[in-house]
Amino acid sequence: MVKRVKTVPSNHLTFFIITLFLFFTNVVSEAQSIIIDQPTPQLNTSFNLTTTTTSPSSSSLSSSCSYRVSIKTSCSSTSFTRDRISLAFGDFYHNEVYAARLDNPSSRTFERCSTDTFQISGSCMYQICYLYLLRTGSDGWKPEYVKIYTPNYGAVTYKFNSWVPNGVWFGFDSCTTTSASMLSSA
């Protein structure tokens, strides 16, 4: 026979406090993950392509690596775009990969709701800490995310979910914030 235990009011209170505590820690951790995992893409008018890799650390890297890049075009983008789309990404030392043109009107890249995958080779690098897109044209384009599969550092996803402005590099740079942890782990 199961005996029903009468709950004393203090247990109610404890339960209430725990619930309240869990609720708030949940809210706080959710708010933190929004700030940390979901930065918004920014314009960078001073972004320049790296012309030469002069970083001393690049000598320890092999010169050619292959990256698979998946780009999902938002379902609220234009039905297709004829704009020119360039991509650049790199690490703390500006080991950089640049793709001058990802678009290809004849093969209908960047259609609304579609995912386009590219194989890009370029400099090898440490952990990616910046990624920018450049759009030139008048159709407009709204990517949902750019995901890069690196040979040595796994995959990294940059969430855009925004219209890319015309003629200015637009994206993410967290190199200064990741530099501290990079240095401490080195």
Ligand X SMILES: *[C@@H]1O[C@H](CO)[C@@H](O)[C@H](O)[C@H]1NC(C)=O
Of 88, 100, 103, the C-alpha closest to 172 is 88
Greatest alpha-carbon span in the chain: 80
Q: How many CB atoms lie within 10 A of CB 95?
A: 22
Question: Under the criterion CB under 6 A, does residue 96 sit at the interface with ligand X?
Answer: no
Give 110 or 160: the residue with its C-beta nearer to ligand X.
160
Closest separation between CB of residue 176 and ligand X, Å? 7
Question: Under the criterion CB under 6 A, does residue 40 sit at the interface with ligand X?
Answer: no
Question: Under the criterion CB under 6 A, does residue 46 sit at the interface with ligand X?
Answer: yes
Distance, in Å, from the CA atom of 89 to the CA atom of 171, rounded to the nearest integer, reads 10
Can you tell me which of 29, 42, 66, 177 binds ligand X, judged by CB under 6 A?
Answer: 42
CA angle 162, 143, 149 (to 5 degrees): 125
Closest separation between CB of residue 71 and ligand X, Å? 21
Give 116 or 173: the residue with its C-beta nearer to ligand X.
173
Question: Under the criterion CB under 6 A, does residue 47 sit at the interface with ligand X?
Answer: yes
N- to C-terminal Cα distance for the chain? 63
Q: How many CB atoms lie within 10 A of CB 60?
A: 8
Candidate ranges 13-21, 44-52, 81-89, 109-117; the one touching ligand X (CB under 6 A)? 44-52
Report how many residues bind ligand X under the rule CB under 6 A. 6
Q: How many CB atoms lie within 10 A of CB 122?
A: 18
Candidate ranges 31-39, 40-48, 56-64, 68-76; the one touching ligand X (CB under 6 A)? 40-48
Distance, in Å, from the CA atom of 24 to the CA atom of 94, rounded to the nearest integer, reads 40
Question: Under the criterion CB under 6 A, does residue 48 sit at the interface with ligand X?
Answer: yes
- The site for ligand X (CB under 6 A) is made up of 42, 44, 46-48, 173
